[in-house]
Structure 1
Amino acid sequence: MPITAYIRNPLTDLTGMMLTNQFMSPCSRLEEKTVNCYEAYGADKGSVNCKDLVEDLYECVTRTKERARALEMIFERERQVKNGQIQYADGPKHDAYQPPLSPL
């Protein structure tokens, strides 16, 4: 929970939104649902009843599963190349870029 839930003064009122995901974040709706769940159940019961929402919010913010999945795909691709199952395509020839012709 953010510190603004425990300490309330003008400084926390001004800077409280900087510690959330409510401004231009893809996780803003999920954070709103999590906060509403905690408001409904309180801090003690909320930690049990809102556990799924908290885990989903954590995954949305940190993207640990997404990064692990991408890393696993990279390792699999390198393993296939190492075993000779697939090959990387040859690169372009040196100085192969041809600029487009001007319409003049």
Structure 2
Amino acid sequence: MDFTPIFRTPVTDLTGCILNAQQSKRCRGYEMHFYECMEAYGIPKGYKKCSDMFEDYHECLNLGKQKQRVTAMKAEQARQYREGTLPKPYAADPPKIDSY
């Protein structure tokens, strides 16, 4: 969780801005809250105090829980179709042509 380089050089100063989420509209708020918290508490205390903000930021970047949720829903639909509860593999009909 520590993002500071071991040795600070002009090269690390120039390339430090490459790895951020400020270009992404979805995650920029999470990143700013996390870094503001880390700045307020400092590195040693920030590990404990800002861990929930880091988890939210990490989830926004990687979408791990969302992918698990989608996988679980697909598995449940497949199970219901195999048991005969659902008449077809997908629960919803596709929209009609030119329906929008």
TM-score normalised by L of structure 2: 0.78
Q: Deviations over 1:70-97 (max 9, x none)?
A: 00000000001100111227xxxxxxxx
How far apart are the structure 1 equivalents of 2:25 and 2:11? 23
Residue 41 of structure 1 corresponds to 41
How far apart are the structure 1 equivalents of 2:59 and 2:84? 36
Which ranges of structure 2 fall in alignment gaps of 5 or more residues?
90-100
Is 2:59 the partner of 1:65?
Answer: no
Identity rate, percent: 35
> What's the CA shift for 1:43?
0.7
CA contact (8 A) 1:2 1:19 kept: no
The range that moved more, 26-35 or 66-75, is: 26-35
How far apart are the structure 1 equivalents of 2:13 and 2:23? 16
Task: Pick 1 or 2: higher relative contact order, CA cutoff 8 A, min separation 6.
Answer: 2
SS in 2 for 1:66: helix
- Specify whether residues 17 and 55 from structure 1 end up closer, same or farther in structure 2 by C-alpha distance, changes over 3 A only: same
Q: How many residues align?
A: 88
Q: Which amino acid aligns with 2:21?
A: N
Aligned-residue RMSD, C-alpha: 1.6
- 1:10-89 equivalence runs, <5 A: 10-88=10-88
TM-score normalised by L of structure 1: 0.76
How far apart are the structure 2 equivalents of 1:11 and 1:63? 31
More helix by share: 1
Q: Deviations over 1:22-43 (max 9, x none)?
A: 1234111111110010011011
